[in-house]
A and B are shown apart, each in its own frame.
Chain A
């Protein structure tokens, strides 16, 4: 039984943790939250120097060619720091989409730029306030031209390219395809949109006859997206685990320090049991995330179920820890000055980006039914 990360992977984790503790303390998160910058560029550059965006990119495309496990431990640390950097958008979603469905030419063009940090990418799926489905995807692609509007798009302002879900005219799930579009062109306009987490900037992208090309086969967009989301769900689960752990310890530290009715509030069972529940959810999430990580490395036969379980558990853990962290702090936790807000905000961004828990629970049971039939 070897259900753990290797010593080298733990060392890498420690290295990234130290870097972020040093270069991305909460005051950096606050600076981005309060300010105008799209992300914390000095933190991002440091992560690039550490090789973070190159981690899982094959050496043939200028990457480090490491295993998904290395990126899992990095994701946990990025999540712990609630780092305002294009990690989920570019290092996870855009990179994995290219690896999964890109042509040789597309990979040769973009993967080296992603690895070196010269470019970042994102994935644009939603079109306003309803869960994206093939039937409500109104953005169209045909004759090499992309038209429509995507919102919200994480890091859409700063990204060099986007992978866009667009209608290509087929039936049912086959109505949609993934399309790769260079965002630095005249047919693309971008506008920042306000969200509940200003530390992670989102944009509206409008395409007006923008030049674009298919990523993967026509009509395969939804299936590829599901596969991409399974992979991303595991990495984001690690980010959520990191965030949940940070929020839990923040609450615990405050519970030790704050006195009420003549003693530390952390000595009251109402607080102790709440924080114990944080720990229970955290460990369920961590264990499910580990299995998801393992399924990213093997043939991955059980990835669909493992990813769904990891995502549901990690979303629950982060949501709970983030909100109970504020609750444990009491009034001070609700102020703009308090650091508690960062995880509360981030937990929702991470919970909804790939679809929320209700959708994933339904998906999980569907997959269980399929597994039991076969």
Chain B
């Protein structure tokens, strides 16, 4: 057992480090992030410039085939690049959905001409993509979407509404799942398309989140007309295409978890006086700190197990499915305790400099427990896919969509 790179991995890491050193600025500490430092309106432009540089050097999508601008590399090399990049102050996050989910779906279903047209601009950050799946009435049960696409000659006409669409406000293209046949059960009447977000009839409205930010949007479709050539997969096989998209979720392992964690909470507990001395001497606080440390380490070493499988060229086991379930609640609970240590002032946004970060994480964690699969859906997934337990009884399974209540 060791944490060492193989010779091939070590050589690649060295190469990546040298390139990053020559092309980016190293972070002063590992909590520093580009976004926090540069709350500027030109962040997207900077991110696009960085993406172009990365793509030109062959680091933008290491696992993609060379013909698409990748390297034909293994997943572990992709992880190594991300690990190294995380030590540098570079703007990230705008292209993950496009390159991690949308373009791989395009690769599975689009024509060679379309791929020639769209892949390279996406890889170089020239065009940003978003994924138009969730709807107001279809969140966890995403196959219950209602946005209609109706055939009209050689075109399709789309009407409906999507929601929680990350990055729609700066995206150029999107992949969209629509209902093309409401007379069959819900999974069977779906069809996938891609479209320009500038197509007439597409309207994007940002959603202000509880945290104050606005990273995602509502997207309205009013008589949006697109040609049949923008269909991905067969008519009625949109669910299959959607599963392709979801299976291509970006490789989250190997990314640092970031944010305030046990070290920072211990520091806070050392510096905070409770009625009977420093909070770090309080047995309840100590018990909680120990539990979170055990979770933090458990997540870290669970990632290492997954990386080991990747490094050996094996398919990782299901162990990484626990990560978000544990991390989101841990973040929420740690934030709540940090605030409690401040006494009644824990609710204030000023004068609590030491707890402010935890306060922000406490707010953000409420969304983290929902985004990308709720705690409850993730537990269902573990129960069904890992433990082999049956799906819930689905009363809508064999009922035509338009007969559902």
Contact present for B390 and A264 (CB under 8 Å): yes
Q: Is the CB of B298 within 8 A of A285?
A: yes
Instruction: Say yes or no: is B387 at the interface (Cβ < 8 Å to chain A).
Output: yes
Q: Tell me, in angstroms, the Cα distance from A228 to B189 when the chains sit together.
A: 64
Which residues of B lie under 8 Å from residue A275 when comparing CB positions? 383, 387, 389
Q: How far apart are A262's CB and chain B's nearest CB, in angstroms?
A: 9
User: Assuming the A-B contacts A277-B379, A365-B290, are A283 and B319 also in contact, with contact meaning beta carbons closer than 8 angstroms in the complex?
Assistant: yes
> Which of B291, B299, B387 has the most A CB atoms < 10 Å from its CB?
B387
Residues of chain B contacted by A69 (CB below 8 angstroms): 1
Q: Are A269 and B392 in contact (CB under 8 A)?
A: yes
Over the window 377-392 of chain B, the binary record of Cβ atoms lying under 8 Å from chain A Cβ atoms (1 yes, 0 no) is 0111011101111111
Assembled-state Cα–Cα distance A92/B319 (Å): 28
Counting chain A CB atoms within 10 Å of each CB, the highest count among B291, B307, B389 belongs to: B389
Q: Which of B361-396 contact A (CB under 8 A)?
A: 376, 378-380, 382-384, 386-393
A136 within 8 A of B: no
- Are A276 and B298 touching (Cβ within 8 A)? no
Q: What per-residue 1/0 map shows which CB atoms of B274-313 lie under 8 Å from chain A?
A: 0000001001001101110111011111101101110110
Bound Cα distance A288, B301 (Å): 7
Residues of B within 8 A of A287 (CB): 297-302, 304-305, 319
User: Are A309's CB and B266's CB within 8 A?
Assistant: no
- Tell me if B's interface is mostly helix, strand, loop or mixed: helix
Closest Cβ of chain A to B328, distance in Å, is 12
B34 to A: closest C-beta gap in Å: 27
Q: Is the CB of A64 closer than 8 A to any CB of chain B? A: no
Q: Would B305 and A267 count as touching, CB distance under 8 A?
A: no
Residues of chain A within 8 A (CB-CB) of B305 are 3-4, 287, 290
* B154 contacts partner chain A, Cβ-Cβ < 8 Å: no
Q: How far is the CA of A306 from the CA of B293 in the complex (A)?
A: 11
B75: shortest Cβ distance to chain A, in Å? Answer: 12
A273 contacts B by Cβ under 8 Å: yes
Task: Please tell me if B92 contacts chain A, counting CB pairs below 8 Å.
Answer: no
Contact indicator A284/B4 (Cβ below 8 Å): no
Chain A 275-295 near chain B by CB (<8 Å), digits 1 or 0: 111011001111110110110
Q: Are B393 and A273 in contact (CB-based, < 8 A)?
A: no
B226 CB–A CB distance under 8 Å: no
Do A1 and B311 have beta carbons less than 8 Å apart? yes
A109 within 8 A of B: no
Question: Which A57-78 residues have C-beta < 8 A from chain B?
Answer: 69
A116 to B312, CA, bound (A): 38
Judge whether A272 and B384 touch: CB under 8 Å. Answer: yes
Q: Report the bound CA distance from A263 to B390 in whole Å.
A: 10
| A residues near B393, Cβ cutoff 8 Å | 263, 267
B263 on the A face (CB < 8 A): yes
Count contacts on B: residues with CB < 8 A to the other chain. Answer: 52
CB pair A288–B376 under 8 Å, yes or no, is: no
With A1-B307, A3-B305, A309-B294 known as contacts, the answer to whether A276 contacts B390 (CB < 8 A) is no
B11 contacts A by Cβ under 8 Å: no
Residues 238-259 of A, flagged 1 when their CB comes within 8 A of B and 0 if not, give: 0000000000100010011000
Q: Is the CB of A267 within 8 A of B390?
A: yes
In the complex, the chain A residue whose C-beta lies closest to that of B296 is A309
From residue 266 to 323 of chain A, which have CB atoms closer than 8 A to chain B?
Answer: 266-269, 271-273, 275-277, 279-280, 283-288, 290-291, 293-294, 297, 306, 308-309, 312-313, 316
Q: Which of B286, B293, B325, B388 contacts A280 (CB 8 A)?
A: B325
B283 touches A362 (CB 8 A): yes
Asked if A337 CB lies within 8 Å of chain B CBs, one says: no
Taking the nearest CB of chain A, how far is it from the CB of B306, in angstroms?
A: 9
In the complex, chain A residues whose CB is within 8 Å of the CB of B379: 269, 272-273, 276-277
A361 CB–B CB distance under 8 Å: yes
> Would you call A374 an interface residue if the criterion is a C-beta within 8 Å of the partner chain's C-beta atoms?
no
Tell me whether B311 and A291 are in contact (CB under 8 A): no
Least CB distance, B252 to chain A, in whole angstroms: 16
Report A348-359 CB contacts with B as 1/0, cut-off 8 Å: 000000000010
Interchain CB contact under 8 A, A3 and B389: no
Establish whether residues A3 and B304, one from each chain, have CB atoms under 8 Å apart when the complex forms.
yes
Q: Does B89 contact A (CB under 8 A)?
A: no
Does B246 touch A at the CB level, under 8 Å? Answer: no
Q: A69 to B1, alpha carbons, bound, how many Å?
A: 9
> Chain B residues with Cβ under 8 A from A293's Cβ?
1
Partner of A358, one of B287, B299, B387: B287
A100 CB to nearest B CB, Å: 21
Per-position 1/0 for B1-40, Cβ under 8 A of A: 1111100010000000000000000000000000000000
Q: How far is the CB of A154 from chain B (nearest CB, A)?
A: 25
Name the B residues within 8 Å of A368 (CB-CB).
262, 266, 289, 293
B256 to chain A, nearest CB (A): 15
* A256 to B384 alpha-carbon distance, docked (Å): 11
B312–chain A nearest beta-carbon distance, Å:
8
Additional A-B contact list (17), CB under 8 Å, known A362-B286, A362-B287: A1-B4, A3-B304, A3-B305, A264-B389, A266-B383, A267-B392, A269-B376, A269-B392, A272-B380, A272-B389, A276-B325, A280-B325, A284-B326, A287-B304, A360-B290, A365-B286, A369-B280
27 chain-A/chain-B pairs, Cβ below 8 angstroms = A1-B304, A3-B3, A3-B301, A4-B312, A69-B1, A252-B388, A268-B392, A269-B380, A269-B392, A271-B389, A272-B379, A272-B384, A275-B383, A276-B379, A276-B380, A277-B379, A279-B386, A283-B302, A288-B294, A297-B1, A309-B293, A316-B294, A361-B291, A362-B283, A365-B293, A368-B289, A372-B263
